[in-house]
Structure formats: C-alpha cells, structure tokens
C-alpha cells in the first residue's frame, strides 16, 4: 500500500446509499474483492454497530477476505455529547469490528453542530479529540471525515480550521474535507484546500459529491492543492447524484498526472472490475462512463471511423487497453481479443499461443453479448466457454438434458407451489426426476439435484447463494429478453454463471446448469 497517497473507496458505505441499491453481506464481500483487485489502499466496509448487516460484514471479512492491497476501514461517529469515548457503545462497536482503520465522521459546520447535534462548538471539538485519542490508544489508525466542511468554512472559517487542528493534534492520520452537499466549484474548492493545509499543517484528504457535476474535477483540484488522500465510489454510486467516481479519478491521476496510485496491471483490469461490480449491484452500467463505459471508445461510421482506421489515437485520448477497455466501431458489443486474452490469463488459460482459439472465443463472446450475455461478473460461464473451445463440450459434460418443464400451482389458501420435471442422460442412464420448490427456479434446482445427486454425491456441497434478474429490452414489455446471474458456493469458494432468454425460467435454468457443471468440474479437479 502506498502511504504517501491514499485511494480510499467508500462504495460499500456511502455508495450503498444510492436510491435503488441494496447490497447483501455476500454482495459486499464480492465487491470488496473486486476493489482489492484494483489496488485501492482502503475499503470502507460500513457502519458496524449502527447497521447489523455491516457488523456481520466485518465479522465475515476476518475469515472470508484475503486482501492483497487494501485495508478495511470501519465508519462511525464520534462519541455522543457528555459521554466518555470509552463508554460509548457506538465507539465500542468500531473497536469490536477489529478493522485496522476507523473513519470518524463529525460536523465541521457550526450550524449543523448547533441545530443537528444540539450541542456547543467546544463540546463538538471535545467529541472529536476524545474519540480520536481513545481509538488511537486502542491501536487503531484514525481518519476523520469533516462533514459539510466547505459550507462550514464559508460560514465560520475559524471553527472549521480549529476542527482540522483538533483532529490532527489528537492523533488522526488525516482529515478528509467533505463537500457533503456537492455544491462546490473547482476553483473555489482548490483555494480552500490550499488555505487549510497552509494554516493547519495537517494532512488532508478530499471527499466530494456530484450535485454540481464537479465531483471528479473537485477531487483533482484538491489533490493539486495538496490533498494526499482521495475518497470515491465505484461507478460514481451514492446518494442523490452520487459520489466522485473512483475509477475516473484513478485513471486521471495515473494516466494524466503520472501519479502512481494503483499497480499498472490492476489498471488494465479497471473496465472488467467496473462491470463486475455493476452486475453485483444489479444496476445497469453507465455506457458513457469515462474510461470504462461500453461507449468510452466507440466510434460511429463517417469521418470519425475513417480517421480511426488510419490512426486510432486521432479520436482517442488514451489507448483503451491500458484500462482494459476496447475500441469499437459500433458493430457489436465489446469483446476485443486483447481483453479476452487478458481475462483468460487471469483464469489460468494462456491463449496467446493459440490464435485460432482466441479468435473463436472472441467471436463467440461478441455474438453472445449481442444477445444479452454479460461475462463481466460471470467468470464461471466465461471459463466454461473457454473450455468448450479448447477441449470440446464433451470433455466437461456430466449430463445431457433431454427436456424440462415447470408447473406453478396456486392453491385455495392462496399459497403457491412449483413442481419441476427434468429428463436427462448421465453415465448411460436416462433419468426422470421431479422436484418441488417455493418457486420455479427452486423446483428446477431441486429436480436437477434429485436426478444426478446419487451419481455425483459431491453435488450436495453446492448451494445457490444469490440470484439476480435484469430486463434487457424494456420496449418489449413482459416478453423482454432477460438476463439471470446466479452465484453458487461450495462452502469455500463462490462462482457466478449467466443465462439469457426471453423466458425468465429458461434463463434461470441455463444459469443453474452452468453453475452445477462448473461446480462438478471444480470439485473433481
């Protein structure tokens, strides 16, 4: 981890406040692994003690996360007014999370102190000082988020500056200046950051929201003014118009300012990571997102296209492969040979020596993605596709499906029951199996397990962990093409598979079959 400059991700806490975004603990663990793969220095895991799900995240993270680059940070408030930090249950929850870093939020705007906290400015500063000193004495590294700092500085600069001094003198490693309302403009914000550093001597960071459309620009200008810690969220997730987009900030710093903030090979994974997180959050990727969007390097027919054919850099500000993206001529979904080769290498397959196979895989991905598949968060489906081309489908086929059907029954008492019948062939046998479930997907999963469970007893180790649905073509109403993403675990690892059909049950079945196939391949080595 580079301690001279921090990239601090707040997707799992501040980003999760986005309207329509709801993350399970399993989702947060998956996203944390992706962010660690990008090479960020800190991952803010949530607010233990205040949110039970976040408390569980930190408990599970101890055994389920093996972070290579990042440290986890627990987020919370300073002690309450007129209560010792050591006796405050919320502060105790931060200690009990065992996170090596604690990020404390406190009011740096005098009006918020008096109207929201209903206490005095002196007591608010004492709350900051006491809580920082207590947590530092307990062996935690402490960051302080100065909430509403810029509005507070405009109204009462003396208090805002004293806030920064107090936190730094108490032992906080840095104070992150927060544009919480997101209304600052770059020139104004940069001047304030420069003044704060000059007058306090403290190490400062920057945390911006995008309400004025300037979150990334404000973050960059703050860094130019001396901030050495930047906070943001993946894909710009966050409340209202969102947080500063961490991917855009990182790419700009590394490629435009020559500030080495993440490993170079991690930067080449940025597009994949952005789309993988989008699949987990079940929020459609912003196609025009800088650097990592599907359209970031897409060129249409006409003068642009002819120029790009002569020299791609005539209409591109960087080589898209540097961030793992691809130039497109708008003929199909992106699936360049370079990104396929890179992803294959990540999964343990060196495709560089077999150009024919690489071409076949690339073309197959293009066709499938044009139909609605997305392999960004479905590594298992992508690996099965590679194996199909390298070894043939027969090498990984544990069973052949003859047919399946599902009946959904609504009973007189209003309850529902689904019954699925599966016909398949396995090891020379024709097997007909029936399964019941609380829905068609559960019934199909049960029927499949019943059919091949005795032949492959190791199937008992597999468990469906998560299930997500996305409508791909909303203009066709209830007949729209549907993508289903299924996450499965064997108790040790998780993998994701994808299915796409007009019929949601058929899409689910395809994803389940691939999940079981991959699981059996994995369990059999």
| pLDDT of 178 over the 80 cut | yes
pLDDT of residue 334: 41
| pLDDT tens figures, 251-293 | 999 999 999 999 988 999 999 999 999 989 989 888 899 999 9
CA 478: distance to chain centroid?
A: 29
| pLDDT of 478 over the 60 cut | no
Which residues neighbour 382 within 8 Å (Cβ) at sequence distance 6 or greater? 343, 347, 365, 375
pLDDT of residue 90: 95
pLDDT of residue 307: 58
Phi, psi dihedrals of residue 164, rounded to the nearest 5°: -65, -45
Q: Where are the alpha helices (DSSP H) in 138-179?
A: 149-155, 157-170
Nearest to 489 by CA among 470, 516, 468, 508: 516
pLDDT of residue 335: 43
> What's the whole-number mean pLDDT along residues 132-144?
97
Helices 25-38, 52-64: crossing angle, 10 deg rounding: 50
- Work out the percent of the chain whose per-residue pLDDT is above 90: 64
pLDDT of residue 371: 82
Domains of the chain: 6-281 (3.20.20.70), 297-331 (no CATH)
pLDDT of residue 471: 82
- Top pLDDT among 499 and 396 is at 499
Which helix (H) or strand (E) segment holds residue 71: the answer is strand 71-77
DSSP 299: -
Separation of alpha carbons 124 and 127, rounded Å? 5
Which residues neighbour 145 within 8 Å (Cβ) at sequence distance 6 or greater? 103, 104, 105, 106, 175, 176, 178, 207
3-state secondary structure of 4: coil
Separation of alpha carbons 22 and 163, rounded Å? 34
> What's the whole-number mean pLDDT along residues 142-147?
97
Separation of alpha carbons 164 and 108, rounded Å? 8
| pLDDT tens figures, 75-111 | 999 999 989 999 999 999 999 999 999 999 999 999 9
Of 164-168, 268-272, 418-422, 464-468, where does mean pLDDT reach its minimum? Answer: 464-468
| pLDDT of 492 over the 50 cut | yes
> What's the whole-number mean pLDDT along residues 134-148?
97
pLDDT of residue 331: 29
Q: Are 246 and 210 in contact (CB under 8 A)?
A: no
pLDDT of residue 272: 92
pTM: 0.69
Banded model confidence at residue 302, pLDDT cuts 50, 70, 90: very low
| pLDDT of 490 over the 60 cut | yes
Phi, psi dihedrals of residue 386, rounded to the nearest 5°: -60, -45
Banded model confidence at residue 473, pLDDT cuts 50, 70, 90: low
Mean pLDDT, the chain, rounded, equals 89
- Work out the percent of the chain whose per-residue pLDDT is above 70: 92
> What's the whole-number mean pLDDT along residues 186-213?
97
pLDDT of residue 342: 63
| pLDDT of 477 over the 80 cut | no
- Report the relative pairing of strands 400-410 and 416-426 from DSSP bridges: antiparallel
- Report the relative pairing of strands 174-179 and 101-107 from DSSP bridges: unpaired
């Amino acid at each position: 981890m580079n301690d001279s400059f921090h990239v601090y991700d707040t997707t799992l806490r501040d980003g999760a406040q986005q309207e329509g975004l709801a993350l399970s603990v399993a989702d947060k663990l998956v996203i944390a692994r992706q962010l660690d793969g990008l090479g960020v220095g800190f991952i803010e895991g949530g607010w233990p003690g205040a949110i039970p799900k976040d408390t569980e995240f930190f408990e599970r993270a101890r055994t389920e996360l093996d972070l290579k680059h990042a440290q986890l940070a627990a987020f919370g408030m300073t002690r309450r007014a007129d209560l010792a930090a050591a006796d405050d249950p919320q502060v105790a929850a931060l200690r009990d999370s065992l996170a090596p870093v604690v990020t404390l939020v406190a009011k740096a705007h005098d009006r918020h102190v008096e109207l929201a906290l209903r206490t005095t400015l002196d007591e608010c500063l004492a709350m900051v000082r006491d809580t920082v000193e207590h947590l530092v004495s307990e062996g935690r590294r402490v960051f302080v988020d100065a909430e509403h700092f810029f509005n507070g500085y405009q109204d009462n600069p003396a208090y805002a500056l004293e806030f920064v001094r107090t936190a730094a003198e108490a032992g906080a490693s840095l104070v992150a200046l927060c544009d919480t309302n997101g209304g600052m403009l770059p020139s104004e914000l940069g001047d304030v950051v420069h003044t704060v550093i000059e007058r306090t001597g403290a190490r400062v960071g920057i945390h911006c929201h995008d309400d004025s459309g300037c979150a990334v620009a404000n973050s960059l200008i703050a860094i130019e003014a001396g901030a050495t810690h930047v906070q943001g969220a993946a894909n710009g997730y966050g409340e209202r118009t969102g947080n500063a987009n961490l991917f855009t900030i990182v790419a700009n710093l590394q490629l435009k300012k020559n500030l080495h903030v993440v490993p170079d090979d991690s930067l080449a994974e940025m597009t994949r990571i952005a789309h993988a997180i989008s699949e987990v959050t079940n929020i459609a990727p912003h196609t025009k997102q800088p650097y990592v969007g599907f359209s970031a390097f897409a060129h249409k027919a006409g003068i642009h296209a002819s120029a790009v054919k002569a020299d791609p850099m005539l209409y591109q500000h960087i080589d898209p492969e540097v961030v793992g993206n691809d130039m497109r001529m708008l003929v199909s979904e992106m699936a360049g040979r370079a990104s396929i080769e890179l992803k294959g290498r990540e999964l343990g397959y060196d495709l560089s020596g077999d150009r024919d196979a690489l071409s076949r895989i690339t073309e197959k991905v293009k066709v499938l993605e044009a139909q609605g598949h997305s392999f960004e968060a479905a590594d298992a489906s992508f690996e099965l596709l590679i194996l199909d081309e390298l070894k043939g489908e027969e090498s990984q086929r544990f069973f052949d499906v003859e047919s399946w059907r599902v009946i959904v029954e609504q009973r007189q008492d209003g309850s529902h029951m689904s019954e699925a019948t599966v016909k398949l062939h396995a090891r020379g046998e024709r097997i007909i199996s029936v399964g019941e479930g609380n829905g068609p997907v559960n019934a199909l999963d049960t029927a499949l397990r019943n059919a091949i469970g005795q032949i492959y007893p190791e199937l008992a180790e597999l468990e469906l962990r998560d299930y997500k649905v996305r409508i791909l073509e909303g203009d066709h109403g209830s007949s729209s093409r549907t993508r289903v993403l299924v996450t499965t675990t064997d108790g040790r690892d998780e993998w994701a598979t994808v299915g796409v059909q007009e019929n949601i049950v058929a899409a689910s079945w395809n994803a389940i079959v691939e999940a079981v196939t991959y699981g059996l391949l994995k369990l059999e080595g």
